[in-house]
A = this chain, B = another copy of it.
Amino acid sequence: MGGDDAPATIVEGARLAAYEFGVPVLLVGDPDRLGDVGDMPILPASEVVEMGADAATSIRRLKDSSIVRGAEAVRDGSASSLLSAGNTGAAMAASLLRIGRIKGVSRPGIAVPMPVLGSTPCTLLDCGANADSQPEWLVQFARMGTAYARHRFDLASPRVGILTIGEEAGKGNTLVKDACQLLEHGDWAEACGATYIGNIEGNDLMSGAADVVICDGFTGNVALKSLEGFHDILQGNVMAALDDPVFDAVRPALDKKVRPIFDTFNSRGTGAAMLLGTRGVTLISHGSSSANTIANAIRTADAIAGERIVDNIRAAVS
């Protein structure tokens, strides 16, 4: 029921996932509003947490909302993962309150795979679960991000960096400096199988310099949205420039060579961010996701759930 064109776009994406990719999908929402869903099962939920609504309050009050019922389905084992394109805060709150935190995790973090050309993505976290952070939480993000990157992208010992504003050790704000002390001197990397590589600057988020980059949720969200916005501005301008009759003769070649670049570097194209640190798989898609993006996110949800990622994150933080 969440997303800019919900439920129509979401149902269309679910259809693609179910009938093209063969992923079993459980739809959660108001059966009267979902339209034709083929033979996909529906878990009825009469309420909806709106996009602008306060997350914590809504989850407490709207007990029959689709996001609460979806989280309960994961908790109860009738679904292996939860995907939402609705209110992000509500998806986090429902997961925390209904699915619960992994023991030892102070705060879950949102992990977003940033595209890297010719390589596996660079997992950036936290991308907005916690606006303020503690140094210890950043170390947990490093551990959880390592488990995620290893299992999602098949990396033996993911290279983990911390996002800051200089190459030299000791550069950064107080939070980063304190976290660096913990990261440099602890045995966390050995314990979870990471390779700690220290400082990463903003220009290296998509360069392939790191497999996992940790930061507080405020910084991560600003960086992510800045990059998304810039992607769209550049794509819009380049595509408009190429939309000129002078290029008609080479149109197919342009479409084949230029458009895929913008698709590749669209961090929303992977379909979903994952909330790391709860006892279940919760994926969060953009409200503006297309049916194709939703279908890809469902496929990702299926793959991640199959990898027993929660067990791996639990081991990484313990």
Q: Which of B216, B231, B254 is in CB contact (< 8 Å) with A173?
A: B216
Residue count of chain A within 8 Å CB distance of chain B: 57
Interchain CA distance A234-B174 in the complex, whole Å: 33
Do B233 and A265 touch across chains, with their CB atoms under 8 A apart?
Answer: yes
Could you tell me which residues of chain A, from 274 to 310, have a CB within 8 Å of some CB in chain B? none
Complex Cα gap A222–B262 (Å)? 22
Residue of chain B at shortest CB distance from A225? B202
Q: Which of B202, B246, B254, B265 contacts A222 (CB 8 A)?
A: B202
CB-based contact A225/B165 at 8 Å:
yes
- Report B-chain residues with C-beta under 8 Å of the C-beta of A237: 117, 261, 264-265
Instruction: Name the B residues within 8 Å of A231 (CB-CB).
Output: 230, 234
* Shortest distance from the beta carbon of A128 to any chain B beta carbon, whole Å: 6
Q: Is there contact, CB below 8 Å, between B230 and A244?
A: no
Q: Is residue A229 contacting chain B, with contact meaning CB distance below 8 A?
A: yes
Chain A residues in the interface with B (C-beta under 8 A) = 52, 117, 128, 131-132, 163-165, 168, 171-174, 176, 201-207, 215-219, 221-234, 237-238, 241-242, 244, 246-247, 249-250, 253-254, 257-258, 261-262, 264-265
